[in-house]
A and B are shown apart, each in its own frame.
Chain A
Amino acid sequence: MTRGAIVAPVVADRLWTHRLCDHLEVAIGSPDRTLVAAGGLGGDGMIVDATSGTINAEVAEHPLGILSLAWSPDSEVLASGGQDGVVALSHRDGGRSAHRVGGWVQALAWSRDGKVLAVGAGKHLWTWHRTDDRLVDHGPQPSTITDLAWARREPLVGLACYGGVRWFAVAGPEPVAPGSQPTRTLDFIGSLLCLGVSPDGRWAASGNQDATIHLWKLWDRDELEMRGYPAKITAVSWDATSQLLASNGAEDVTVWDVSGAGPKGRTPLQLSGHTSLVSSLAFQHRGALLASCDGASIRLWRPRLGTRQLGQLEAEDEGFAGVRWHTDDRTLLVGGAAGRLDAWNVRRAR
């Protein structure tokens, strides 16, 4: 193992490295913590044993690039979507299927019970129903679906589009009529780029092209808009307590505290250190650490305790393209601008 250039009070040891053929932003751990799946813009992808780093299987190839990956909650099925307009399903037992849906498959999200996979493909919402292997096209939305998220308290999937979030009830046993109207809409005149629902199901946050965050309290009519970012917001991440919302859109990471009455009137935390726009960020799934990356560095923070940076990794032979915590919350999955995939074990410095 190679010791990373991370500084106290946390250090990182490299566990394993692989290489895809081009830019890699999407790497995710399986819910059972045993596997990591990664897919790059070169169109290739792999499923790796999280501990040993051994390649377990190839992800179905998506010529022109893999844009999205999602593990089913039972870790049995990996869904992948690409610029080729195909959503592919790789089953743990080796079974595979591929469905042509058209458009760029930018977003995939499994329902909490794992029975329904929601697919954002261009302007169309599709769902794949696992129990009867049924694929349903819910018809075109008014604009391209940029992100998807399931509500926590109701069986609704939210679609981020231009004009707001459109919530559909697609998880029920009955087939959903194509072209059906949304069950709810959260309106906002602007182009939504990413969507995050807080783990407690209380909030939905969108990052927007016009350099704002829009925050809705689900399900009443309360909404807030956070302005003042220098650039569009392409990444938001909730912490496990649903109290902190981290966002990019600047060289600083901005963290809003939504506890109590909400963030209105509060000044957000500004985590400073990056030297160019933050491209990717993620809170741990259950812990309090936040990882953020620009092309040159990955930085670790614990916003609950303040703005102090806890550690840093410097890019080596290629820039960083994306960072995500593995589901074990100890391993940092790092994608490179030329296709490199690194797994780093993060621990306290002795």
Chain B
Amino acid sequence: MQPVPVTVVTGYLGAGKTTLVNRILTEQHGRRVAVIENEFGEVGIDDGLVLDAEEEIFEMNNGCICCTVRGDLIRILGNLLRRRDRFDQILIETTGLADPAPVAQTFFVDEEIAAGTTLDAIITVVDAKHLIAHLDDTKPEGVENEAVEQLAFADRILLNKTDLVTPAQLTEVERRIRDINAVASIIHTVNADVDLDHILDVGAFDLSRAMSEDPDFLDEDAEHLHDTSVTSVGFVVDGDLDLRQLNDWLGELLATRGVDIFRSKGIFAIGGERNRVVFQGVHMLFDSTDGRPWEPNEPRHSKLVFIGRNLDRDELRAGVEACRIEVAA
């Protein structure tokens, strides 16, 4: 049986998450959606089910200091997977203040969920009028700014309430989003009115689509005017990489710096491999799968993106460059 695609909707309080979820629940889109959200009460609806989740975050005993998972989601998703023929899609709405990491890490850590579902996309809904204030909100030492984290984790960003800002303000909001997350596609909406084909079952988490169009930030000369501690860093490296060296480097990097690296994603050309290797990580957890085969005349190159805090572009580039297989002249 095919894994069930799971969409995670995050967003600050009042950004429009619930409007979006209600739209998904009520629109005739032909998909049977099971929705997991907070404090709704459990009810059966025409083509699906709404399940109540009480956020319960657990640390895992796997030696990974930032590895937390959502125990409630493991239970609910496990239960849904026993009735998987009844759903086409699962949607998880997080609370406004939720850190997306434990949600995403749940899909890596629990083998039943990893096998039965696929994390399709993390959708972050943001309010065009208030986002900058939330991003600039000063937090006490050691407390994360949830608005920044939610942008950093996003595969797609719904820039909502665009009718409430001027074009100039909208440009500035987009620039601030791009400073943090240069990879996620941004969709402008009013009342969270979006074509659901753009957010459900889109395969965005694995990044192959987003990275197929070289985003500007992969260019090393791209300027980052705003000084923010959470940024995106990306590279394109021509030629093949050595699998063992790449594994060693990424393993070491994420083990030692994974607390600061929120998301890592890559599409690799590995020496001797006919298929592209698609890589994704959340903090210290990562996995990889085979992507599509390389075309006969397609230039083989690798793309790698990190989104996180205190990223040193030169150091990261040197790390991945060191994994290149030198071709004899």
CB-contact partner of A162 in B49, B58, B83, under 8 A:
B58
Q: In the bound complex, how far is the Cα of B110 from the Cα of A143, in angstroms?
A: 18
Which residue of the partner chain A has the closest CB to B76?
Answer: A104
A329 at the interface (CB under 8 A from B): no
List chain B residues, Cβ under 8 A from A143. Answer: 56, 58, 71
Contact of A210 among B44, B54, B60 (CB under 8 A): B60
Is there an interface contact between A63 and B44, defined as CB atoms closer than 8 Å? yes
**A105–B83 CA distance with the chains assembled, in angstroms:** 18
Q: Does B47 contact A (CB under 8 A)?
A: no
Q: Chain A's nearest CB lies how many Å from the CB of B44?
A: 7
- Specify which chain B residues have a CB less than 8 angstroms from the CB of A321 in the assembled complex: 82
B contact residues around A34 at 8 Å (CB): none
Classify the interface of chain B: helix, strand, loop or mixed.
mixed
Interface 0/1 of B54-70, CB less than 8 Å to A = 10101111100000010
- Chain B residues whose CB sits within 8 angstroms of the CB of A146 once the complex forms: 75
* A122 interface hit (Cβ, 8 Å): yes
Would you give the shortest CB distance from B72 to chain A, in whole angstroms? Answer: 7
For residue A64, CB closer than 8 A to chain B, the reply is yes
- Rounded to whole Å, the gap between the CB of B71 and the closest CB of chain A is 6
B42 within 8 A of A: yes
Contact B82 A232 (CB under 8 A): no
B136 at the interface (CB under 8 A from A): no
Nearest CB of B to A240, in Å:
30
How many residues belonging to A are interface residues under a CB distance threshold of 8 Å?
29
- Asked whether, in the complex, the Cβ of A337 is within 8 Å of the Cβ of B60, the reply is no
CB of B195 within 8 A of chain A? no
Residues of A within 8 A of B56 (CB): 143-144, 162
Asked if A198 is at the interface (CB within 8 A of a chain B CB), the reply is: no
Task: Output the nearest chain A residue to B60 by Cβ-Cβ distance.
Answer: A210
Contact between chains at B54 and A122 (CB < 8 Å):
yes
Contact of A64 among B42, B72, B111, B112 (CB under 8 A): B42
If A64-B49, A232-B112, A337-B82 touch, does A144 touch B61 (CB 8 Å cutoff)? no
Docked Cα-Cα span, A210 to B72, in Å, equals: 15
> Are A232 and B111 closer than 8 Å at their CB atoms?
yes
Q: Does B79 contact A (CB under 8 A)?
A: yes
Complex Cα gap A210–B68 (Å):
12
Which A residues are in CB contact (< 8 Å) with B71? 143-144, 162, 191, 209
Give the residues in chain A near B44, CB-CB below 8 Å: 63-64
Closest-CB distance, B84 to chain A (whole angstroms): 9
1/0 contact string of A318-333 vs chain B (CB within 8 Å): 0001000000000000
Q: Could you tell me which residues of chain A, from 113 to 156, have a CB within 8 Å of some CB in chain B? A: 122-123, 143-144, 146
- A143-B71, A231-B111 in contact; A23/B61 too (CB < 8 A)? no
Chain B proximity of A134: nearest CB distance (Å): 27
Asked if B61 contacts A104 (CB within 8 A), the reply is no
Question: How far is it, in angstroms, between the C-alpha of A162 and the C-alpha of B54 when the chains are bound?
Answer: 14
Are B82 and A23 within 8 A (Cβ)? yes
A273 contacts the other chain (Cβ, under 8 Å)? no
CA distance A173 to B92 in the complex (A): 45
Task: Please measure, in the bound complex, the distance between the C-alpha atom of A64 and the C-alpha atom of B69, giving whole angstroms.
Answer: 25
A191 to B60, CA, bound (A): 8
User: How far is it, in angstroms, between the C-alpha of A277 and the C-alpha of B56 when the chains are bound?
Assistant: 26
- Residues on B with C-beta less than 8 A from A209 are 58, 60, 69, 71, 74, 110
Cβ < 8 Å to A, chain B residues 284-321: none
Q: Please name the residue on chain B nearest to A143 by beta carbon.
A: B56
Q: Is A312 an interface residue (CB 8 A)?
A: no
Instruction: Report the minimal beta-carbon distance from A254 to chain B, rounded to whole angstroms.
Output: 16
Contact partner of A231 (CB less than 8 A), chosen from B59, B86, B112, is B112
Smallest CB–CB gap between A81 and chain B, Å? 14
Check if B112 sits within 8 Å of A41, measured CB to CB. Answer: no
In the bound complex, CA of A22 to CA of B56 (Å): 28
In the complex, residue of chain A having the shortest beta-carbon distance to the beta carbon of B78: A234
Closest beta carbon of chain B to A278's beta carbon, Å: 12
* B83: contacting residue among A22, A106, A191, CB under 8 A: A22
Query: With an 8 A cutoff between CB atoms, is A212 at the interface?
Result: yes
Task: Tell me the bound Cα distance from A277 to B49 in angstroms.
Answer: 27
Known: A189-B59, A277-B111. 12 other contacts (CB 8 A): A22-B83, A22-B86, A41-B83, A65-B79, A83-B42, A144-B54, A144-B56, A162-B71, A190-B60, A191-B58, A210-B60, A277-B112
17 residue pairs of the A-B complex, CB under 8 angstroms, read: A41-B79, A41-B83, A65-B79, A83-B79, A122-B54, A143-B58, A143-B71, A144-B71, A162-B56, A189-B59, A190-B61, A209-B58, A209-B69, A210-B60, A212-B61, A230-B111, A232-B112
Q: Which residues of A contact B (CB under 8 A)?
A: 22-23, 25, 41, 63-65, 83-84, 104, 106, 122-123, 143-144, 146, 162, 189-191, 209-210, 212, 230-232, 277, 321, 337
- Going nearest first, the 3 A-B pairs with the smallest beta carbon separation are A210-B61, A23-B82, A231-B111
